Amino acid sequence: MARIGIIGAGSWGIALAALLHKNGHEVTVWSVLASEVEQLRTKREYPDRLPGVKLPEDMLFTTDLQEAVEDKDALVMAVPSRFTRETARKMKPYVTEGQIVVNVSKGVEESTLMTLSQVIEQELPQARTAVLCGPSHAEEVSRGLPTTIVAGARKKAVAEYIQNLFMNEVFRVYISPDVLGMELGSALKNVVALAAGIADGLGCGDNTKAALITRGITEIARLGTAMGGKYETFCGLTGIGDLIVTCASMHSRNRRAGILIGQGRTMEEAMKEVNMVVEGVYSAKAAMALAQKYQVQLPIIEQVNAVLFEGKPAAEALRDLMLRDKKIEVSDLPWED
């Protein structure tokens, strides 16, 4: 049995807390919101986000960050991406040398263009930082539906430790050393999922969805490999796998927000109606800044930015994508003479 602190009580943090408890671990969940902690303590459920999922009586909930961090074998960082640095900074006095911190949030910090594990490493240099990501909606994990995911760490022993913590008969965990590629795939797929949702809101069909998924992973891999990620990672669970589920499922808050935008809502209206963090909005600008830095083209992500932040009509953005200059799909394949 391990002692684990879950830092963040959103739907993903709670789903993983329930999974880890089922695996026999001692789990403490932290939230900055006293009202959230009180609801979880008294009702033992999260009816708004994970309806029907009952939480065990011996799962602990707290607003005391020191209680959630100290003397834990591993910490699961599950706060929204824009709060990762602030939360890690507050954790620093309580994190010990070599303590494992597993980031499960997705995004790129807009001000620094750092991935979230890089942010955590900067704020918590004494910790061993790792990531866990892949096609895994909290709603399905909390119900015990079969899921596959990847634990990433620079050292194999750390990845294997995380694999052993989380893996069970319905939650299969692979391991990978390509932390950068995993995080970029997980963050940028949210931006492409906004595009897929916008297309749905405009009334487009399956052909359009397939095109966005396929060309979307091409954009993600183009940027990711330029930054040092491995191409194979973008062909796997944290690349195309995560992109498929996020673009196709109504569990995806990014797709749902995109649908509303395609139907004519503004970005702010869509985010308010979804009533959950829409990480793709926060990653979109960072993705374009990275594209400029590494001199790569991201036409889908560029059009998403134009719709989100420049007021460009969604239908016009789609038209501009379709009327781009003629291209070869795979440029390095040989032609016959």
For the segment 245-271, what is each residue's pLDDT rounded down to a tens digit?
999 998 999 999 999 999 999 989 998
Quick check: is 332 in a domain? no
Residues 170 and 185 in one domain: no
CATH number of the structural domain spanning residue 37? 3.40.50.720
Domain around 45? 3-177
Quick check: is 337 in a domain? no
Quick check: is 327 in a domain? no
**Burial class of residue 326, CB neighbours in 10 A (0-12, 13-18, 19+):** exposed
Residues 8 and 66 in one domain: yes
Residues 46 and 155 in one domain: yes
Quick check: is 333 in a domain? no
pLDDT at 279 (0 to 100): 86
Residues 43 and 94 in one domain: yes
Task: Kindly tell me if the per-residue pLDDT of 276 is higher than 80.
Answer: no
Separation between Cα atoms, residue 328 and residue 337, nearest integer Å: 17
Confidence of residue 275 (pLDDT cuts 50, 70, 90): confident
Residues 198 and 67 in one domain: no
Task: Kindly tell me if the per-residue pLDDT of 136 is higher than 80.
Answer: yes
189 is catalytic: yes
Residues 121 and 229 in one domain: no
Query: Of the listed 72, 189, 209, 230, which one is catalytic?
Result: 189
Q: Give the helix/strand (H/E) hosting 50.
A: strand 50-54
Quick one: tokens of 97?
Answer: 């040398």
Lowest mean pLDDT among 40-44, 48-52, 167-171: 48-52
CATH number of the structural domain spanning residue 217? 1.10.1040.10
pLDDT at 337 (0 to 100): 85
Domain limit, last residue, from 134, 154, 177: 177
| C-alpha to C-alpha distances, 40 to 49, 52, 63, 184, 211, nearest whole angstrom | 12, 13, 12, 32, 42
User: What does the mean pLDDT of the chain come to?
Assistant: 95
